[in-house]
Structure 1
Amino acid sequence: MDILILLPALLLKIFGLPIDRAIYWSGVAISPVLQVLAALTTARAARLLWPEYDAWRLAALMVLLNGAAMTYCLPGRPDHHSLGLLLAALCTGQAIRAALNTSDSTSAVKAGAWAGVGVWVSPESLIVIAPTLVAFGFLWLKSADQPRAWARQGRNFGLGMTAVILLAVAVEQPPALWLHAEYDKVSLLYLAIAVAATLDFWLAERMPWPAWKRFIAAGLLAGASALILAALFPHFYLGPLGNITTPEAKDFLDNIREMSPIIPINRATMNQFAGMVGNALIALALIPYCLWKWRGQPRWSATLLASLIYLATFAATLAHQRIAVFLAPYGALLGCGVFAVLCSRAQNMRPVTKMTVRVGAAFIAAFGAQLWFLVAKSDTASAALNASCNPKPVADWLNTEHPGLAAPDPIGAERHSPIIFSESINYPPELAYRTPYRFVAGPYHRAIDDITDMYRASISEDDLTAREVIGRRHADYLLICTTAVPKLIGESAANSLYHRLLRGDVPGWLRPLPMSAEANREFRLFAVQH
């Protein structure tokens, strides 16, 4: 992602724009550009499934209007998920071509290569890769006349992925760490997964057996591979979250809004669900229709592959709403077919009726579940679910009063950036961006120890424990939000440090610092007495 921002910035610099402004504007533009490319790539793949009535053209519009895709691809948000969206579409487009023509080995290798790039950018891409491998494996088991061809496509996919991940490990990791596994970064772990998949399909290709024997062999192969991977890399199946070992860190990460579930069980969660899943939901209705209507056709295999990826990403989205961005291209790829189906039904109707059906079908496909907001009303539950602390007034006060700083913007040897300890991981990144202060933790799964210390200090009922943790972190200040607190801390004992500070029972080793009225509306700041 950095390269995609820096290369256009260098071009802008050549044309006279200062490098800092060039990087800024390149960062502003990159995610919308990637979304447009993802939309076009998805439409190109959809054309293979839905050539009728040019329904595939709607797939591009669906990606552009999808709630999650728009959220992660906003101007000024250079998020790696926007690149992941494009890579998912590129991978599946090639995989569909490989499924439509089992002699097209090139497309299978390309699909695997794009999958490898996806892992390079973010191991979250496994949510797309795993069902793709399952699809090739199922088609190998199901096929009566060409099982070896399907195994070969799976092997080719694995080879493409292995080659790219091998390159990625060599580029991203120093030689001393080539044999070191990292869960949240391309490493030996993901190379091992790619190699295991390739070997499994290579062995499958050499099994000219009846279906029932292949079924048993598949179970043994998959089971053995999983056991070996689990022995070498515990929790490998959790992908980038596999290195989270403390319950405190896991619970805190679950309180990050984009990591939270969006199962629609009430109006508040339905609003979140409709906003993030949006028009991708309509694909659920098309999957059984397509698998029934296209049975015996080449499109059936390609639709099965896309459907398995869709169902896997849909289930993951319900658990963690950030995965919804990966759901967008598959919802569009399959969901645009509603236009073709309804147009086919209206083919023999009167011209006015036919046009009405076409417009209605396009409208339904483009907006899908987002139409919920035409009838939904905001309520207190929705407001509570989306409650958050606004740190901007605190940033304004810190930048005006700059406590602990000898000068507003010290440089060189004179620079000392005070450290602020907080009870939440959600607002520190914005404060770190807006001010010269440093913060202990943020919503990052690598900050396991930081998050654990934040949790233990906030719920501590013993001043010695809380002071030891905050002192070990060399914190100069303690900041708490009074309106939106992580659930675990909010439910802590009444005499925990957090609740004591809320009711004004301040221990002697902390000194209250009054801020502006606006900042004090939601926050309290304390100086640590060393």
Structure 2
Amino acid sequence: MSYRNSGQSPGERSAAIPWRGVLLAWVAISLLMLVGSGGRLSPANFVDGDDALRLQQVRDLLGGQAWFDLRQYRIAPPDGVAMHWTRVVDIPIGAMILLLRPLLGQGLAESIAIVIVPLLNLLAAMALAARLAARQFGPRIGIVAALLVAAAVPASFRMMPLRIDHHAMQFVLALVALNGLFASTPRMGAAVAGAALALALAISLESLPLAVIVGGLCTLRLWRGQGEWLIKYLLSLSVASLALFLATRGLADQAQHCDAVSPVHVAALLWMGGGVAIVLGQLRDRPPLVSLLAVCLIGAGAIGIAAVWAPQCLAGDAFASVDPLVRKVWLDSVLEGLPVWRQEPGFAATIILLPLFGLIACLRLFRRAADRAAQLFWLDYALLLLGATLVGLLVARASGVSCLFATVPAAWQVAEQFARWRQDSLLVRRMGRVVVMVTLLLPGVLVDQAARLLAPVGQASAGRAQGEVALGCDFSKAVPALEAIPPQTLLTGLDIGPTLLVMTRHKVIATAHHRADTAIRDVIEAFLGPDEAARLIMARRGAAMVVICPGGSEARFYAEKAPDGFIAHLMSGRTPPWLQPVPMPAAGGVKAWRVLPR
């Protein structure tokens, strides 16, 4: 059965990407992003610690660290921390640096790579959204879908210059899987979807819910008598997962981790893929109910493998082993991992409204469908979008997938409203349609501005002041002073630790990465506890300096939580006698002290 008929005439559909319009839109959006950065495009200006540590991982790889050695030795020295990351994301960044380094030198090559690689992810996402929309509605709506990718803020924010962490690549792979699921035939389409999600899982297990949702859709198609979708999808997913595990993890680490693809995940997927291929192949002439029951039994077997081999991973919480204090103070305050009701109004509106508009458009397209194939297309699309939306409501960083999926039907909705706006002679209705289109494009901005207008005057101005303070410190100004000090271990904030690793030769006790939870606990206890406890922790960890950013959100959070704690004393000028201030440029905002010998 073909899934390409959406109720449009064949002349209105195109299988090709409207490259000219997509490239023009990408150039315009990229220029806006670059202008909006204000020229702050160096490694000192990473907005997230994950981006900074990713660059450090790439540097270590290019500097000779083994491909399978994912340990970061400058965190929690001397043993370091075995990261749960993958080298897959390092490849495009490292390749661009290697290409440019002979011509431009290491520093400029890195600066260009951390700008261009995220923008290439943006281009890929725009092209994939445009491709699917153009196949259904024609090239003009395909270009609208590409533009809506920029409005999908939870995704496009991860594709701005300097955002080199793994999320953008996972979003692009989700769109690859989406295109595969609506290919004309399952032979290639399901295989593409499975391989794309296998690569996304190799990058991070955050893609596991989407892989399950896609499996559910393929099972629904099995119920309709289209069993080849499920067979090809699971076979591709399992075989590609095995190949990627061997290629990126190797055989050195056989532990059953719950935060990254491990042998137990590969075994369960191979059981599913092989079992479904063998059993469903024997049940082709049986009623779909028999095949469905067989799939359920095979799925129960996969759960049994996990229960026997890694029961701790069945709890559904990859961070279950994290220290309770670390979870309470740090992990539970990471906004991107929290549900929608814990987010700021503007961001929450984007998480909710764009997928909601997409679901409404799917319903309207389903009702307008010219035939059964078109109805099934939009039913399947709505189910995928609904599943991704529910996941995004529970975990904010996952909402980028639902927002990107929504761009295709929402593009049709925007184009339809624009066409009606041009034809409408009544001014009031025309103004109403403008509001609808602007809301589709910028839901978060409108809600955020409305929240500011409705908030009391004092509260609104306080929010602006807090936003300015949250910018923290300018580490580029502090680097010369820090680099003049011989390399040593620093007690510093979890969020600024990766920036210090990238910008200096020093080591840090911990960064905001959960596998170092013992070291993270030491940092938290040092900053929240009394001065003498901090001294003992530093001595045990071999730390000879304290570096903080008093204007940063993390330092203020600790000071508010423990007004008589170590970091609160440092911020208020009550420095303990065993610390000596280290001169730092006032313009940078960074404060540093060295431990005096006993």
* Higher-RCO chain (CA-CA 8 Å, sequence separation at least 6): 2
Does the CA-based 8 Å contact 2:529-2:566 persist in structure 1? yes
Which residue of the partner structure matches residue 197 of structure 2?
A: 115
Deviations 1:334-370 (A, max 9, x none): 3223135547878986799999999777655433444
Q: Is residue 132 from structure 1 mapped to residue 132 from structure 2 by the alignment?
A: no
Candidates 472, 487, 490, aligned match of 1:417:
487
Residue 359 to residue 388, structure 1, CA distance change in 2 (3 Å): closer
Q: Distance in 2 between matches of 1:116 and 1:190?
A: 11
Shift of 1:313: 3.4
Which residue of the partner structure matches residue 442 of structure 1?
A: 511
Does the CA-based 8 Å contact 1:511-1:526 persist in structure 2? yes
Candidates 522, 534, 540, aligned match of 1:472:
540
Residue 493 to residue 73, structure 1, CA distance change in 2 (3 Å): closer
Shift of 1:425: 1.4
Shift of 1:510: 4.2
Q: Is residue 46 from structure 1 mapped to residue 126 from structure 2 by the alignment?
A: no
Deviations 1:203-251 (A, max 9, x none): 4565566566666655554344334324423454688935743223333
Amino acid aligned to 1:433: V
Which residue of the partner structure matches residue 154 of structure 1?
A: 230
Shift of 1:479: 3.6
Secondary structure of residue in 2 paired with 1:125:
helix
Residue 236 to residue 295, structure 1, CA distance change in 2 (3 Å): farther
Does the CA-based 8 Å contact 1:343-1:358 persist in structure 2? yes
Q: Distance in 1 between matches of 2:114 and 2:561?
A: 41
Shift of 1:87: 1.4
Which residue of the partner structure matches residue 360 of structure 2?
A: 285
Does the CA-based 8 Å contact 1:512-1:527 persist in structure 2? no
Does the CA-based 8 Å contact 2:424-2:430 persist in structure 1? no
Amino acid aligned to 1:34: N
Which residue of the partner structure matches residue 412 of structure 1?
A: none
Which residue of the partner structure matches residue 22 of structure 1?
A: 109
Shift of 1:24: 3.2
Candidates 94, 110, 118, aligned match of 1:31:
118
Candidates 404, 409, 414, aligned match of 1:334:
409
Does the CA-based 8 Å contact 1:31-1:75 persist in structure 2? yes
Secondary structure of residue in 2 paired with 1:88:
helix
Q: Is residue 247 from structure 1 mapped to residue 328 from structure 2 by the alignment?
A: no
Residue 397 to residue 213, structure 1, CA distance change in 2 (3 Å): closer
Shift of 1:45: 1.7
Residue 74 to residue 62, structure 1, CA distance change in 2 (3 Å): same
Worse overlay, 436-445 or 199-208: 199-208
Identity value in percent? 19
Q: Distance in 1 between matches of 2:530 and 2:439?
A: 55
Shift of 1:508: 5.3
Which residue of the partner structure matches residue 168 of structure 1?
A: 244
Q: Distance in 1 between matches of 2:592 and 2:426?
A: 66
Shift of 1:427: 2.0
- Structure 1 stretches lacking a partner, 5+ long: 410-415
Q: Distance in 1 between matches of 2:469 and 2:356?
A: 26
Q: Distance in 2 between matches of 1:55 and 1:11?
A: 36
How do 1:114-263 and structure 2 match up within 5 A? Answer: 114-141=196-223, 143=224, 146=225, 149-150=226-227, 152-177=228-253, 179-199=254-274, 201-202=276-277, 203=279, 206=282, 219-236=296-313, 241-242=318-319, 244-251=321-328, 252-263=330-341
Residue 429 to residue 90, structure 1, CA distance change in 2 (3 Å): same
Does the CA-based 8 Å contact 2:531-2:576 persist in structure 1? no
Residue 331 to residue 5, structure 1, CA distance change in 2 (3 Å): same
Amino acid aligned to 2:211: I
Q: Is residue 451 from structure 1 mapped to residue 520 from structure 2 by the alignment?
A: yes
Amino acid aligned to 1:473: R
Shift of 1:133: 0.8
Q: CA RMSD in A?
A: 4.1
Does the CA-based 8 Å contact 1:429-1:442 persist in structure 2? yes
Worse overlay, 304-313 or 152-161: 304-313
Q: Distance in 2 between matches of 1:255 and 1:225?
A: 34
Q: TM-score, normalised by structure 1?
A: 0.78
Does the CA-based 8 Å contact 1:391-1:430 persist in structure 2? no
Q: Distance in 2 between matches of 1:238 and 1:96?
A: 33
Residue 69 to residue 496, structure 1, CA distance change in 2 (3 Å): same
Q: Distance in 1 between matches of 2:251 and 2:404?
A: 37
Candidates 429, 448, 471, aligned match of 2:498:
429
Secondary structure of residue in 2 paired with 1:455:
helix
Residue 387 to residue 283, structure 1, CA distance change in 2 (3 Å): farther
Shift of 1:117: 1.9
Worse overlay, 125-134 or 485-494: 485-494
How do 1:379-390 and structure 2 match up within 5 A? Answer: 379-381=461-463, 384=466, 388=470, 390=472
Q: Distance in 2 between matches of 1:334 and 1:96?
A: 14
Secondary structure of residue in 2 paired with 1:443:
coil
How do 1:444-523 and structure 2 match up within 5 A? Answer: 444-460=513-529, 463=532, 466-482=534-550, 484-485=553-554, 489=558, 492=561, 496-499=565-568, 501=570, 509-511=578-580, 515=584, 517=586
Residue 438 to residue 294, structure 1, CA distance change in 2 (3 Å): same
Does the CA-based 8 Å contact 1:478-1:525 persist in structure 2? yes
Q: Is residue 272 from structure 1 mapped to residue 347 from structure 2 by the alignment?
A: yes
Secondary structure of residue in 2 paired with 1:153:
helix
- Structure 2 stretches lacking a partner, 5+ long: 1-88, 453-459
Q: Distance in 1 between matches of 2:395 and 2:121?
A: 22
Q: Is residue 2 from structure 1 mapped to residue 104 from structure 2 by the alignment?
A: no
Deviations 1:483-504 (A, max 9, x none): 5347984565665444555566
Which residue of the partner structure matches residue 297 of structure 1?
A: 372
Amino acid aligned to 1:113: A
Secondary structure of residue in 2 paired with 1:241:
coil
Q: Distance in 2 between matches of 1:71 and 1:455?
A: 29
Secondary structure of residue in 1 paired with 2:255:
coil
Does the CA-based 8 Å contact 2:269-2:302 persist in structure 1? no
Residue 468 to residue 67, structure 1, CA distance change in 2 (3 Å): same
Secondary structure of residue in 2 paired with 1:426:
coil
Worse overlay, 128-137 or 481-490: 481-490
Residue 527 to residue 330, structure 1, CA distance change in 2 (3 Å): same
Residue 232 to residue 223, structure 1, CA distance change in 2 (3 Å): same
Shift of 1:23: 4.2
Which residue of the partner structure matches residue 93 of structure 1?
A: 179
Amino acid aligned to 1:158: L
